[in-house]
Amino acid sequence: MNPKYASTQALRIPPLAGYGRQRRGRPAATGTYLQRLPLAGFEYHDARRLWPYLRTGQALLLSREFSNLVDPRAVRITWLGEHLGYLPRTDNLLASDLLDHGAEIIARIHELHESEDPWQRITLNVYLTRTG
């Protein structure tokens, strides 16, 4: 690789560099297991575009989205700053309450499926990492 262009390549896709490689073993779950849920909104957010880079065991950030007009308890899921989707509206009460009380929770990708049904594409395990 020409050193002149090395920095240009690094600027093009820095957050995804190295994520296409298969990793050995599964990372240990951190925290207390809370629930297993599908990712909601796969087809409407960045999960479809980032699908080739997602791997089982990757940690995802969960945060409240108070400005969501459709779901007042919306819990947004992001990976490397990219919005993947949400926890399902019917099952986000526990996570939203914990986040509202200052707890830290994460999700880890449990399973990835090549399915036509977007609700079956990504299954998440949700963990409590720190209480508020």
What CATH code is carried by the domain that includes residue 54? 3.30.70.2330
74: exposed, middle or buried (Cβ count in 10 Å: 0-12, 13-18, 19+):
buried
pLDDT at 74: 97
Give CA–CA dist 101/132, Å, rounded: 6
15, 52 Cβ separation under 8 angstroms:
no
Residue 24 domain flag: no
pLDDT < 70 positions in the chain:
1-29
SS3 24: coil
For residue 11, the model assigns a pLDDT of 40
Q: Note the pLDDT of residue 8.
A: 42
Distance of CA 115 to the CA centre of its chain: 18
Answer whether residue 1 is part of any domain: no
Q: pTM to 2 decimals?
A: 0.75
In a domain, 91, yes or no: yes
**Does 72 reside within a domain?**
yes
Which pLDDT belongs to residue 130? 87
Domain carrying residue 43 = 29-130
- State the pLDDT at residue 131: 84
Q: What's the confidence (pLDDT) of residue 17?
A: 46
Total domains present in the chain: 1
Q: Is residue 22 part of a domain?
A: no
Q: Indicate the DSSP class of residue 125.
A: E
Residues whose CB is less than 8 angstroms from the CB of residue 47 and which lie 6 or more positions away in sequence, other chains included: 39, 41, 54, 84, 85, 121, 122
Classify residue 14: in a domain, yes or no: no
pLDDT at 16: 46
